[in-house]
């Protein structure tokens, strides 16, 4: 991917003219957020400020001031995605969290959605999205390192009612199958880190059987799609309404759904209560949404 050469308007320059509150390093326990490499200087500064604000909202001390006595240093490098249409992100930001000595603590990649116009003109929605998304991942990481981390909120998966044939039975079955796979399921939107939707499409019956396609999609709570698993098969007409058949479908679907959750992170283990960092893309799988077919056929 090519380097970023973005023109920034005077509006962004004006927005940076006044130096905002640089935050606090928490007496040597917080995070210093450096400007991101890649975009223009004003955009890099705005993104760093947004991450700092996101960390502070999670009760993690953070600052953009330099030098500082912060325990951790966060650096980011933005790369434009102009060549791979299979990745639904215009920019990938590669984050590296190190301690004061320079030892790498963790790294992850965050995808940025939107249009090139929004990115190049510093759209506030994109800046806020980058800041809040990165902050959640960083807070979870440093929480494991003994520094202040986020509270227990927003660590579950919200399962919406499955749409289409057999929806009621499938909704019950997929919740039970995911719980059995150690996924924390929540019924409270305030507790949800991610959302699962299922949709059943059925062809016209032929000889007492139907061709069905079930698409399971994982979204952020803001509505951004982060992964999809698809099941296809021919089944007896009306069989999905049966609890036994719905359980078969759900057990088969879990493989694809949990693969998405493992890549994206952010949902706790129901037994351990520990949350993985997220939502963010794994550096080794930047094309995460290209998951159709990961889940095997239901029968």
State pLDDT tens for residues 125-134: 888 988 888 8
C-alpha distances (whole Å) from 170 to each of 156, 162, 247 are: 19, 7, 7
Does 286 or 247 have the greater pLDDT score?
A: 247
Does 268 or 262 have the greater pLDDT score?
A: 262
Residue 113 and residue 280 in contact, taking contact as beta carbons nearer than 8 Å: no
What letter does residue 281 receive in the DSSP assignment?
A: B
C-alpha distances (whole Å) from 178 to each of 181, 194, 251 are: 5, 13, 8
Q: Each residue of 180-211: pLDDT tens digit?
A: 888 888 887 777 888 999 999 888 888 888 88
How far is Cα 299 from Cα 232, in angstroms, rounded to an integer? 9
Q: Please provide the average confidence, as pLDDT, over all residues in the chain.
A: 75
C-alpha distances (whole Å) from 187 to each of 157, 195, 196, 222, 270 are: 8, 10, 12, 17, 14
Give the lowest-confidence range in 89-98, 119-128, 265-274. 265-274
Does 245 or 277 have the greater pLDDT score?
A: 245
C-alpha distances (whole Å) from 247 to each of 90, 154, 230 are: 38, 27, 16
Residue 287 — pLDDT band, cuts 50, 70, 90? very low
By CB atoms closer than 10 A (0-12, 13-18, 19+), residue 164 is middle
Of 81, 74, 71, give the one whose Cα is nearest residue 54: 74
Class of the domain covering 10-144? alpha beta
Average pLDDT score over residue span 110-125: 85
Give the lowest-confidence range in 8-17, 39-48, 135-144, 254-263. 8-17
pLDDT value of position 283: 31
Total-model pTM? 0.49
Average pLDDT score over residue span 149-168: 76
Of 252, 282, 249, give the one whose Cα is nearest residue 265: 282
- Report the range out of 101-115, 148-162, 271-285 with the highest average pLDDT: 101-115
Percentage of the chain beyond pLDDT 90 is 14
pLDDT value of position 4: 36
How many Å separate Cα 157 from the centre of its chain?
A: 12
Q: Each residue of 27-49: pLDDT tens digit?
A: 567 899 999 998 888 888 999 99
**156-264 adopts what CATH topology?**
Double Stranded RNA Binding Domain (3.30.160)
Q: Each residue of 48-107: pLDDT tens digit?
A: 999 999 999 888 898 888 777 788 999 999 988 877 666 678 888 888 888 888 888 888
How far is Cα 27 from Cα 36, in angstroms, rounded to an integer? 24
Residue 15 — pLDDT band, cuts 50, 70, 90? very low
Q: What are the sequence ranges of the domains in the chain? A: 10-144, 156-264
């Amino acid at each position: 991917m090519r380097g970023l050469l973005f023109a920034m308007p005077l509006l962004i320059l004006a927005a940076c003219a006044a130096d905002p509150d640089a935050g606090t390093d928490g007496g040597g326990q917080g995070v210093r957020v450096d400007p991101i490499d890649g975009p223009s200087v004003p955009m890099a500064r705005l993104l760093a400020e947004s991450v700092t604000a996101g960390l502070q909202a999670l009760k993690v001390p953070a600052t953009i001031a330099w030098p500082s006595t912060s325990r951790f240093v966060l650096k980011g490098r933005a790369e434009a995605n102009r060549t791979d249409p299979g990745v639904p992100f215009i920019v990938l930001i590669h984050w590296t969290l190190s301690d004061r000595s320079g030892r790498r603590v963790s790294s992850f990649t965050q995808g940025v959605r939107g249009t090139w116009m929004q990115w190049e003109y510093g759209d506030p929605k994109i800046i806020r999205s980058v800041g809040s998304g990165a902050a959640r991942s960083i807070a979870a990481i440093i929480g494991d390192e003994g520094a202040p981390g986020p509270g227990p909120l927003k660590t579950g998966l919200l399962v919406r009612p499955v749409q289409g044939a057999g929806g009621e039975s499938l909704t019950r079955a997929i919740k039970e199958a995911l719980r059995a796979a150690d996924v924390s399921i929540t019924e409270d939107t305030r507790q949800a880190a991610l959302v699962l939707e299922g949709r059943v499409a059925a062809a016209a019956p032929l000889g007492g059987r139907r061709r069905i396609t079930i698409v399971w999609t994982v979204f952020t709570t803001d509505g951004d799609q982060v992964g999809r698993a698809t099941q296809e098969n021919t089944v007896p007409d009306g069989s999905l309404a049966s609890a036994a058949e719905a359980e078969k479908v759900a057990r088969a679907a879990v493989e694809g759904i949990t693969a998405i959750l493992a890549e994206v992170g952010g949902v706790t283990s129901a037994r351990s209560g520990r949350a993985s960092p997220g939502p963010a893309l794994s550096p080794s799988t930047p094309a995460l949404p290209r998951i159709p077919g990961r889940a095997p056929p239901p029968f």
